[in-house]
Structure 1
Amino acid sequence: MSDAWPVMSIAEAHRRLTAPGGRFEIEEAVIRGIPTRVWKHAPPTLRDVFINGRAFKDREFIVYDDDRATYEAFARATLTLAHQLVADGVRKGDRVAVIMRNLPEWPVAFFAGVLTGAIVTPLNAWWTGAELQYGLADSGAKVAFVDDERLGRIAEHFDSLPDLERVYVARLKDETADPRVRRLDDVIGPVAGWAALPERPLPDVPLGPEDDATILYTSGTTGKPKGALGTHRNMTSNIGASGVSAARNFLRAGQPLPESDPHKLPQRTTLLVVPLFHATGLSATLSPTLNSGGKIVLMRRWDAEPAMRLIEREKVNSTGGVPTIAWQLIEHPARSRYDLSSLVAVTYGGAPSAPELVRKIAEVFPGSQPGNGWGMTETTATFTSHLGKDYENRPDSAGPAAPVGEMQIRDPADGVTVLPPGAVGELWVKGPQVVKGYWNKPEATAETFVDGWLRTGDLARLDEEGFLFIIDRAKDMLIRGGENIYCVEVENVLYDHPDVMDAAIVGVPHKTLGEEPAAVVHLKPGGTATEAELRAWVRERLAGFKVPVKVAFWPETLPRNANGKILKTELKKVFADETAAA
């Protein structure tokens, strides 16, 4: 490695990586009338991803408790189920819902739907029965794949779902008399038997890059969730984005590019601890892993010590999700008992992370690279990526966009004026990852998607080299007596305190100032910081009007939705209750 770093700019690294004939070559495609940069060699559709994965035949693909499935076993189960869907009358464009926890049956159901040409609609397995009823009704799902727990939530709503013709249940415990409900095991059997299922051909369904592939619902922190309608190209664009980010790091460090043929490389193992129904789990993890022959280890639910046990047993190379997961691995008192040396990447997104976390990952896991990024459901997960030395040198950034992506900072007042580097405004993005629009919501689509650009609602800035710095969600920014307070700025200062593991800033009403900042924090094990100490900590580092007027202590990790975003509406109730009591 060269002593000088970086040895080339982001722009030069991208120019070399995307040159004609290269793995990451870019071409221009006209998508819905808009010229768009796309990956020339990305798999055209998710069916191609499935076919690429099957080439790894005898490699293990999925591990869950005592269940283990090879690529060939997974392929046979998926094709068996796809033919069952065709027999059920599922046709191209029909919606097929997947609503279950992270089980081996989840990707089988997803890709079975894909192979029939259906628009696969993963719904949030954390939702209540009424919320699931909304998602099923809004999408018009014809078939649903659920687990036993989700069946219990939706069964009472069957009468209000006339479009729902069939429900397949994974790991069903008790029989049900409803004629629409069928055991998934009756079609594909248990995981241990998948390899013995008969060979079946691919369904004869024409698929193209711009065909509809998925509906992923937004997190719905305000109002009803909206279904982001994604294409096959949207879903497969993450494969190029994840690869180019790692390759860029080698060039920036003056190193030769490593071997890229996954058939010639050791298998990479990922401990997946975010839900598969979320864009990060599905688009940024499942599809790239399947395409490159990796192994995915699933957990029933996140728990730091069982996770460390799995990392040691399965020689896990990468994990992450949200910053809290990384913190819990770092701070866990039992960490020294486990061999975690196989970890080479600890990555996360979905929530602000403290700059200190980058340093801690490098210190605690010396062989691993910290990584983060920025994306939304509407960008089919990852839009920017930030790894290794770039991340260590800009720990408060979310990194640059992949070369197919474009970013602009626009004046929030008019949504048109493009602001210069360093100026804070609203982030607009464009690229092959940006979805078509919202399912059956033309007005919301017109407001958010403009001439190929996505209006993100995030306040951000770009530096001269194109590194993205997220400042705050526009609608979450506090205004105290006319002064703007970017919550993430105060949160990062709190994260820097040695006792703080998790922190969030929310607005509390004030009679004359409008609102003031208040903090909710979760302390690390053994942490003893007091409200007065934390307020003084912030006061020493930020302007007085940014200092939280109150600090509440939360007994566990702060509540988050499935996308990893802190549920600030829940945290505000802490202070609303105080006000009511007063």
Structure 2
Amino acid sequence: MSITSSKYKRTRAECEAILTAPGMPWELERVFLDGRYQTVWKNTPPYYRAWVEPLLKAGGDRAFISSPLPPPAATEDRETVTFAQMYERTVTMAAWMRAQGVRQGDRVAIAANNCAEWLACSFAIHFLGGVAVAVNSHMVIDSMVYCLAHVKPKLVIVEESVAKDLAPKVDKLRSKGVGKVWCWSSLDHHSADVRKAIAVAKPNPSKAEIDEVVAGVGLEGIGPDSPCTIYFTSGTTGYPKAVLSNQRQNLHNALSGTFTPLRAALRVGADIKELLAPKPNVPQTNILLPVPLFHCTGGQSWATRALSGQAMLVFMRRWSVKDAISLIKSHKINVVGGVPSIATALYQSPDLPKDHVFDTVSYGGAPPPNSLAGNLKKRWPNLMLVHGYGMTETNAVHTAIAGEDYVDHPDSVGWVVPVCEVKIVHPETKKELPTGEVGLIFMRGQNVMSYYVDDPEATAKALDKDGWLDSGDVGCLDEDELLYIRDRSKDLIIRGGENIASLEVENALYLDPRIAEAAAVPVPCPLMGERVGAMVSLAPGATATPESIMAEVFPRLRHAARPVIVLVRPEPLPRNANGKIIKTDVKKIVGEQWKEEQPRAKL
């Protein structure tokens, strides 16, 4: 989808009226849910299988997944799975699960890195009307045990690397009500203890068992309010919370994900009939997906986009700029998704061929530098840029901005999707604030979770009686209803009673072209309470000292926001598996260095 003009031909309201008109896929309706009327997508599929099954069948022999093979295969060994093959794997795995006793409403956990089998297992769970539990395969083993024990799945299905770590904990899991742990690949290269603790799944269902799955036996009564997924929050402080969402909440992505880019195209004059017309001769879209499927960005937003657009998803074992560029070249990648740091790393890498062109770069999950949109658009003028904002509790996107709107408002996270709402409230009184004032961001809509599993206290704290979710983020709305994130409430730095958003400092640091990553954190001060500290990593080939970085950034910041310490880290900043910078780790490292320098520090 090319955007070549910055002149807007239609207002946002006009674009949304076109897209949500009667008979359009994005038509809206008002329904009575949870004691109040809500706006939802009229064409939301009734349940996950009803949506995914016809798409898998329609894809046929088109490539759907390019995935690394599990060890002991060589690192470079990969497999390509077509839509038709994925359907066959899904049905086979569903028949096997059914033979293990899985029925509608049962929870089945998956713990693995991105691969074809992850999606086959997830789809199989949904084919039976089960609840797919996406477990972070990168977390420490004690946290994984906690998550599994908390949700008590009937089955746990893992890859071989997780099997090795989880094997010593199997008895403990069983004592806490967790079902049998299976591995979908060979464990012959592991120890006898691992092979004894973890069973290897070898699906070989009979024709009768396959026929039952194909016929949808056991799906009677499933509908929009049936439980669908459990994703876990990032858990950068304390244990993760288990977010349960129903079919309607999860499947908003089937329509929300395509809405914003289409609105952006209509804004600059595109014709809706042309946009929606079949394009049989257009090459297949190839999407590089470095973010994990166990996070809603990967498992919902991007998996949904690939299915809806009959695109190919290209997986990586772990994020690496070198490996990413190799895959971009070998798989002719034209769409990149993930967090902003991925786009930044690719843009800054001298190894990305200068003539390689991306059609779309889309990111969310973390705040991008304000300069990123302009930099990307300058290199690829026809690029469709999309920035989304949401959280696990909103089943991915809640607001988004794309195209020329994003270039013109690079510090905004956009407008709400039409089935969503947002308001800004006072942190203490929770009263709605006037336009432009900064406060807590509250969100509501079709996409908002049902509850935290077995945690009514946390649910009540996050969701009020009217369905508003406290995001924990601080921001404001402008006169055009664009949303701006000012910070996480927990990431505000308070210097002598003055609030300093870490994003304010980070965006000023990112204007220095030598800097690849930046994180601002508080450091203790006996006089002011807190002052600003920062940690940065450098772009490929760049050199810098803390003093030179301070000299560059100080003129861009008000006095209170100027960092008193900057650490230049020779390796990337600490991040969790979802690509978010772990501020608690940064704060600890910077704080320890600050403490050492205190006798020499100037207050």
Q: Same fold by TM-score, threshold 0.5 exceeded?
A: yes
Whether 1:566 aligns to 2:581 is yes
Change (3 A) 1:79 1:40: same
Deviation at 1:3, TM superposition (A): 6.5
Correspondence 1:185-334 to 2 at 5 A: 186-187=202-203, 201-204=214-217, 205-206=219-220, 207-257=222-272, 258-260=274-276, 264=280, 266-334=283-351
Change (3 A) 1:385 1:3: closer
- Which residue matches 1:418? 432
Amino acid at match of 1:321: G
Change (3 A) 1:556 1:100: same
Amino acid at match of 2:493: L
- Which residue matches 1:73? 85
Whether 1:447 aligns to 2:467 is no
Change (3 A) 1:436 1:463: same
Deviation at 1:225, TM superposition (A): 0.9
- Which residue matches 2:567? 552
Match of 2:414 among 394, 399, 407: 399
- Which residue matches 1:8? 10
Deviation at 1:512, TM superposition (A): 2.3
- Which residue matches 1:60? 63
Residue deviations 1:533-566 (CA, integer Å, cap 9, x gap): 2223332122101000100011122111233321
Residue deviations 1:413-449 (CA, integer Å, cap 9, x gap): 111x111221111111111111111111001101111
Residue deviations 1:179-207 (CA, integer Å, cap 9, x gap): 663323x2179xxxxxxx97761432132
- Which residue matches 2:27? 25
Q: 2:302, 2:337 within 8 Å by CA — same for their partners in 1?
A: no
Deviation at 1:579, TM superposition (A): 4.8
Deviation at 1:509, TM superposition (A): 1.0
- In the alignment, the residues of structure 1 paired with residue 361 and residue 4 of structure 2 have an alpha-carbon distance, to the nearest angstrom, of 25
Amino acid at match of 1:518: G
Change (3 A) 1:438 1:183: same
Q: What's the secondary structure of 1:408's corresponding residue?
A: strand
Residue deviations 1:341-388 (CA, integer Å, cap 9, x gap): 2x2011111111112111111122333222211110001111111111
Q: 1:96, 1:118 within 8 Å by CA — same for their partners in 2?
A: yes
Change (3 A) 1:433 1:555: same
- Which residue matches 1:194? none
- In the alignment, the residues of structure 1 paired with residue 5 and residue 291 of structure 2 have an alpha-carbon distance, to the nearest angstrom, of 37
Change (3 A) 1:277 1:525: same
Q: What's the secondary structure of 2:287's corresponding residue?
A: strand
- Which residue matches 1:378? 393
- In the alignment, the residues of structure 1 paired with residue 577 and residue 204 of structure 2 have an alpha-carbon distance, to the nearest angstrom, of 29
Correspondence 1:18-167 to 2 at 5 A: 18-53=20-55, 54-65=57-68, 66-162=78-174, 163-167=177-181
Q: 1:521, 1:551 within 8 Å by CA — same for their partners in 2?
A: yes
Deviation at 1:411, TM superposition (A): 1.0
Residue deviations 1:198-257 (CA, integer Å, cap 9, x gap): 776143213211111111110112222111111111221112112111111122102212
Q: 1:245, 1:385 within 8 Å by CA — same for their partners in 2?
A: yes
Instruction: Output the TM-score relative to the length of structure 1.
Output: 0.94
Change (3 A) 1:519 1:202: farther
Q: What's the secondary structure of 2:288's corresponding residue?
A: strand
Deviation at 1:468, TM superposition (A): 1.1
Residue deviations 1:252-301 (CA, integer Å, cap 9, x gap): 10221234366846532211110000000011011232233221111112
Q: What's the secondary structure of 2:144's corresponding residue?
A: helix
Amino acid at match of 2:187: K
**Root-mean-square deviation (CA), in Å?**
2.1
Residue deviations 1:458-496 (CA, integer Å, cap 9, x gap): 001111111111000011111111000011011001001
- In the alignment, the residues of structure 1 paired with residue 540 and residue 279 of structure 2 have an alpha-carbon distance, to the nearest angstrom, of 43
Q: 2:27, 2:41 within 8 Å by CA — same for their partners in 1?
A: yes
Amino acid at match of 1:499: R
Q: 2:66, 2:315 within 8 Å by CA — same for their partners in 1?
A: yes
Q: What's the secondary structure of 1:326's corresponding residue?
A: helix
Q: 1:79, 1:202 within 8 Å by CA — same for their partners in 2?
A: no
Q: 1:502, 1:558 within 8 Å by CA — same for their partners in 2?
A: yes
- Which residue matches 1:171? 185
Change (3 A) 1:441 1:88: same
Q: What's the secondary structure of 1:201's corresponding residue?
A: helix
Amino acid at match of 1:352: P
Change (3 A) 1:565 1:106: same
Whether 1:436 aligns to 2:450 is yes
Q: What's the secondary structure of 1:308's corresponding residue?
A: helix
- In the alignment, the residues of structure 1 paired with residue 456 and residue 566 of structure 2 have an alpha-carbon distance, to the nearest angstrom, of 42
Match of 1:356 among 359, 364, 371: 371
Q: 2:287, 2:337 within 8 Å by CA — same for their partners in 1?
A: no
- Which residue matches 2:514? 499
- In the alignment, the residues of structure 2 paired with residue 276 and residue 226 of structure 1 have an alpha-carbon distance, to the nearest angstrom, of 17
Comparing 93-102 with 59-68, greater Cα deviation is found at: 59-68
Deviation at 1:49, TM superposition (A): 2.3
Change (3 A) 1:135 1:346: same
- In the alignment, the residues of structure 1 paired with residue 197 and residue 310 of structure 2 have an alpha-carbon distance, to the nearest angstrom, of 36
Deviation at 1:396, TM superposition (A): 0.7
Deviation at 1:302, TM superposition (A): 1.7
- Which residue matches 1:182? 199
Deviation at 1:331, TM superposition (A): 1.4
Q: 1:52, 1:292 within 8 Å by CA — same for their partners in 2?
A: no
- Which residue matches 2:600? none
Comparing 157-166 with 430-439, greater Cα deviation is found at: 157-166
- In the alignment, the residues of structure 2 paired with residue 453 and residue 27 of structure 1 have an alpha-carbon distance, to the nearest angstrom, of 20
Instruction: Output the TM-score relative to the length of structure 2.
Output: 0.91
Where structure 1 has 5 or more consecutive residues not aligned to the other structure, the ranges are: 190-196
Amino acid at match of 1:6: Y
Change (3 A) 1:262 1:577: farther
Amino acid at match of 2:107: R
